[in-house]
Chain A
Amino acid sequence: MKKNDVILIVVLLAAALAVFGGISLFSAKSGKDPEAVVYLDGEKQGSYPLNQDASVKIQSASGGYNILEIRAGTADITEASCPDKICVNHRPVKNPGESLVCLPNKLVVEIENGGEAEVDGSVR
């Protein structure tokens, strides 16, 4: 083999590695910071990074509301107009895929990004 051939082979291998690395990096980009994403009746309303404390009043179409608090990397519904308070009684959520649901107000707060979800769904 000539020197040039060796160089070419090395270059090709390097290129292959670069392509592979690039793709892996691209698919790992879901490793963004986790955020609480607010949906009302299935429509995305906004998102709040978990690393930034916040208190948001979410007004539902039916005239109800929920108060979403982002504290210390968790999302929690601390107050709601609904009678059953299932969403308020629920523990704060923080892991990707976890969600808070308020049926009367058709509200879902889901944790997105921040890595692979532990489960694809859940039974409660």
Chain B
Amino acid sequence: MKRKHHAVILLLAVILLMGAVALQQNNTQPTRYEVRFFDSFDTITTITGYAKSQEEFEEQTKLLQEKLMHYHQLFDIYHTYEGMNNLKSINDAAGKSPLSVDQDIIELLKLGIEMHRKTNGAVNIAYGSVLSLWHEYREQGTADPEHAKVPPKALIQEKAAHTDISKVVIRDGTVFLEDGEMSLDVGSIGKGYAVQKISEYARELGMDHLLISVGGNVSAVGAKADNTPWRVGIENPDLESAEPYIGSVELADQTIVTSGDYQRFYVADGKRYCHIIDPETGMPPEYVPSVSVLTENSGMADAWSTALFNMEIETGLELVETLPETEALWVMKDGGVRSSSGFEFHEKK
């Protein structure tokens, strides 16, 4: 009899021990860390993931940071880099000679040409001449707000005559701009393309649970460590409101990109002009404060969010509904929200 009692007690002790071990394991799951850096695409990159220590996480993400920097240099239109033909090199050689370039540039430009077609011209990587004009006026207007000006209509039209994307000739690993006055600007897809590439690279490196954000181009590599999806807030474009997010979405192996007019803009004659320019009008569009696009490929999400920002909601909605695995959400001027039929959105109450 006594032995039986001992057996029961022993059993209880074992259960207790197992319970403690289980709890302990729960507790030693890799901790969540974050790294931030500022060296690519003139924005802030935040990578969130899991490791045993901050040092280990920095070590792991260093390769991603370097890869991102590589894309930044390839797609840079303001600087050239030693031993590399980048977009600036192509622009500098416009109308003169084809340049042999990295396969990533070819792939990016092909994506740009494809997206120009799919969006009926609402994104155009050959729109550099007009964009650089606006860039110049915006820089001046930001530095000296008293004398901020908008580019004259005639000048915009003159520049817009040199934006024909069919004059971007890709042949045998070379790129040639046939119009000497034209230039490339991949602002609408470059960052998204790079985010897609480093997400794929992270998977190759065996990193299965990451949230990568490059200036708000957000890409989820897998889900969180506990296999629940990453939760990503969509910022409220109304900066006067105390509510930081209009709602959130859940991401696992997907990306979301937002295009908006409420952060980067300048004011001329009392009017706000944002950094996105509609290729159809040569002016900043004024349809909505922000559009977010959720899909699997970050490059496409980037292109679509810009394209939809350049369109009436109804036109965009119709287009999005024809796309597989692509959803969009518009925040309207009155603060209301519209979204495509499959957009799973947790609206803020």
Chain B minimum-CB-distance residue to A120: B230
Give which listed residue, B240, B244, B258, contacts A123 with CB less than 8 A.
B258
Indicate if the CB atoms of B241 and A103 lie closer than 8 Å.
no
Contact pattern, B 1-39, Cβ under 8 Å of A = 1, otherwise 0:
000010011001100100110011001000000011110
**What's the tally of chain B residues with a CB closer than 8 Å to chain A?**
48
A5-B8, A5-B9, A91-B241 given; A121·B38 CB < 8 A: no
Indicate if the CB atoms of A42 and B233 lie closer than 8 Å.
no
Indicate if the CB atoms of A23 and B38 lie closer than 8 Å.
no
Chain B minimum-CB-distance residue to A124: B235
Indicate if the CB atoms of A121 and B23 lie closer than 8 Å.
no
Query: Which residues of B sit under 8 angstroms from A121, Cβ to Cβ?
Result: 46, 48, 211, 213, 218, 230, 232-233
> Is residue B257 within 8 Å, beta carbon to beta carbon, of the partner chain?
yes
Query: Which residues of B sit under 8 angstroms from A12, Cβ to Cβ?
Result: 9, 12-13, 16
Query: Which residues of B sit under 8 angstroms from A25, Cβ to Cβ?
Result: none
Contact pattern, A 24-43, Cβ under 8 Å of B = 1, otherwise 0:
00110000000000010110
Query: Which residues of B sit under 8 angstroms from A15, Cβ to Cβ?
Result: 16
> Is residue B190 within 8 Å, beta carbon to beta carbon, of the partner chain?
no
A84-B142, A95-B244, A103-B44 given; A9·B12 CB < 8 A: yes
> Is residue B279 within 8 Å, beta carbon to beta carbon, of the partner chain?
no
Contact pattern, A 88-124, Cβ under 8 Å of B = 1, otherwise 0:
0111110100100101001010000000001111111
Indicate if the CB atoms of B35 and A124 lie closer than 8 Å.
no
Question: In the docked arrangement, what's the CA distance between A92 and B240, Å?
Answer: 9
Give which listed residue, B142, B217, B224, B245, contacts A119 with CB less than 8 A.
B245
Query: Which residues of A sit under 8 angstroms from B292, Cβ to Cβ?
Result: 123
A9-B9, A23-B23, A119-B248 given; A124·B240 CB < 8 A: no
Query: Which residues of A sit under 8 angstroms from B233, Cβ to Cβ?
Result: 118-119, 121-123
> Is residue A63 within 8 Å, beta carbon to beta carbon, of the partner chain?
no
B40 to A: closest C-beta gap in Å: 12
> Is residue A56 within 8 Å, beta carbon to beta carbon, of the partner chain?
no
B234 to A: closest C-beta gap in Å: 6
Indicate if the CB atoms of B16 and A86 lie closer than 8 Å.
no
Interface residues of chain B, those whose CB is within 8 Å of chain A, are: 5, 8-9, 12-13, 16, 19-20, 23-24, 27, 35-38, 42-44, 46, 48, 142-143, 211, 213, 216-218, 224, 230-235, 239-242, 244-245, 248, 256-258, 260, 263-264, 292
With A9-B8, A23-B24 given, can you name 18 additional A-B contacts, CB distance below 8 Å? A9-B9, A12-B9, A12-B13, A16-B16, A19-B20, A23-B27, A42-B37, A86-B264, A91-B240, A91-B241, A106-B38, A119-B233, A121-B46, A122-B232, A122-B235, A123-B213, A123-B216, A123-B233
Would you list 8 pairs from A and B whose C-beta atoms are within 8 A, ordered by A residue?
A: A15-B16, A41-B37, A86-B263, A93-B244, A108-B36, A118-B248, A120-B224, A122-B218
